[in-house]
Amino acid sequence: MITGPKYKIARRLGPNVYDKTQGQKYAMRADARVVTKGKKAGSDFGIQLIEKQKARLTYGLGERQFKNIVENIIEKGSGNMNESFIQQLETRLDNVIYRLGLATTRQAARQMVNHGHVNVNGERQTVPSYKVSVGDIIAIRENSKQKPLFKDIAERLKDQKVPSWLAFNLEKKEAKVQGLPKIPENEIAFDVSQIFQYYSK
């Protein structure tokens, strides 16, 4: 998916949109303006649009794919919609690979899955949007473990903080989904309620 220069997008939406724009290099280049082309950032629509774009680009989803997730949750209209939304995004296989630290960005995790390096419950899975479930086992394929992509992985992952809903066995290079993701609102880089308002018009 083509999103344009990442630094330019991060200037509009904030540095948390991309992993590469969260470091010192970006902080030195960026100015503090947050604007959306053609819309006033302070208007209700402008704010909703910014929050929607933040979430969509953070997880690397296309507009149609992102819209379908939100509209399906709105249509069901039961339970905690904000929590359901986060769970839909976090349980994508590419995001799980990223959360485990097997890839440094979600884009790299997406490529890892696309190239067939990941098994789910013993079967090769090449669909990044595949939704994992409680009890699923995610592992690096045996034939892939010796590839340069996974060289020195034990050293890279020794300080990795894995979310509580995932359990990772470094020796076996496999993880188990042991619950559903529950992420405190203060750890989310976008306002979920604004996203639902955007699509509820």
146-188 confidence digits (pLDDT tens): 899 998 888 889 888 999 999 999 888 999 999 999 887 778 8
What burial letters (b/e) apply to 112-127, b meaning 16+ CB within 10 Å? bbeeebbbbeeeebee
> 92-177: same fold as 6-80+189-199?
no
Helix 44-58 with 192-199: angle, nearest 10 deg: 110
CATH architecture entry for 92-177: Roll (3.10)
pLDDT value at residue 75: 92
Helix axes 81-90, 192-199, angle to 10 degrees: 100
Q: Using one digit for the tens of pLDDT, what is the confidence trace for 80-129?
A: 999 999 999 999 999 999 999 999 999 999 999 999 999 999 999 999 99
**Amino acid type, 193:** S
**Which of 58, 34, 56 is CA-nearest to residue 47?**
34
pLDDT at 164: 94
Q: Enter the pTM of the model.
A: 0.79
The predicted-structure confidence for 24-58, as pLDDT tens digits, reads as follows 454 444 444 444 444 455 689 999 999 999 999 99
Contacts of residue 89, defined as CB under 8 A and 6 or more positions apart, other chains included, come to 55, 59, 69, 95
DSSP result, 50-106? HHHHHHHHHTT--HHHHHHHHHHHHHH--S-HHHHHHHHHHTBHHHHHHHHTSSSSH
* Tokens linked to 103: 């890839």
Residue-range domain boundaries for the chain: 6-80+189-199, 92-177
What dotted CATH number matches 6-80+189-199?
A: 1.10.1050.10
pLDDT digits (tens, 9 = 90+) for 68-82: 999 999 998 878 999
Instruction: Return d(Cα 73, Cα 85) in angstroms, integer.
Output: 7
